[in-house]
């Protein structure tokens, strides 16, 4: 995945609709929105795929620049695999050229972990993607921490970030977007050493 001609598919995971926009589960959408803003693009419906996309490039102009399709599946989290797989086929992206940006319960709030492949850790968006195309895609895991007390996981991920969390949210989303760009332009090892906190 290092030839400059190849396309990367960066997928922010989340649920469509304004009622979910600020949810912890939608942090992937937040990162994708920021990346689109940086590229100067606007999300638009992607043909027959149940997704919104923006096409552009990461990196400074020249041989280090990478073609990127940013995507937000509009199918709801648990069915993300269908739209992602359709986009992957359409843009002819190898599985290793797919990057999923998603919330992660087992990591403290704001902490990032980048990796290639692995399990889904109970995350339904990843479960759906893995079922559709195998597990060997990149993940940018955005820590949201565990639910407090006896709160159910489903309730926790579908709640907005708390007021204390929101104070730092823009900074963490910005850092996650930096990590995605670094992964695509400089490779996983470089991105891990810079962003795996």
Show which residues are catalytic: 25
CB-CB contact of 180 with 101 (8 Å): yes
Residue with tokens 């050493």: 193
The contacts of residue 191 (CB under 8 Å, 6+ apart) are: 114, 179, 182, 183
Query: Which of 57, 28, 29 is closest to 181 using CA atoms?
Result: 57
Terminal alpha carbon distance of the chain:
25
CA–CA dist 102, 120 (Å, integer): 11
Cβ(80)–Cβ(128) below 8 Å: yes
């Amino acid at each position: 995945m290092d030839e400059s001609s190849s396309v990367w598919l960066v997928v922010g995971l989340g649920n469509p609709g304004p009622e979910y926009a600020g949810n912890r589960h939608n942090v992937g959408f937040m990162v994708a929105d920021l990346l689109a803003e940086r590229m100067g693009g606007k999300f638009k419906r992607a043909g027959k795929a149940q997704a919104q996309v923006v096409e552009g490039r990461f990196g400074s102009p020249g041989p280090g620049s990478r073609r990127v399709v940013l995507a937000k599946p509009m199918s709801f989290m648990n069915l993300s695999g269908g739209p992602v797989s359709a986009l992957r086929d359409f843009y002819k992206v190898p599985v290793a050229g797919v990057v999923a940006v998603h919330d992660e319960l087992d990591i403290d709030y704001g902490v990032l972990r980048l990796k290639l492949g692995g399990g889904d850790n109970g995350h339904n968006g990843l479960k759906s993607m893995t079922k559709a195309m195998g597990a060997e895609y990149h993940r940018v895991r955005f820590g949201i921490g565990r639910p407090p007390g006896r709160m159910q996981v489903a309730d926790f991920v579908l709640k907005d970030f708390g007021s204390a969390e929101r104070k730092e949210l823009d900074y963490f989303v910005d850092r996650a977007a930096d990590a995605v760009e670094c992964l695509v332009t400089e490779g996983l090892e470089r991105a891990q050493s810079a962003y795996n906190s």
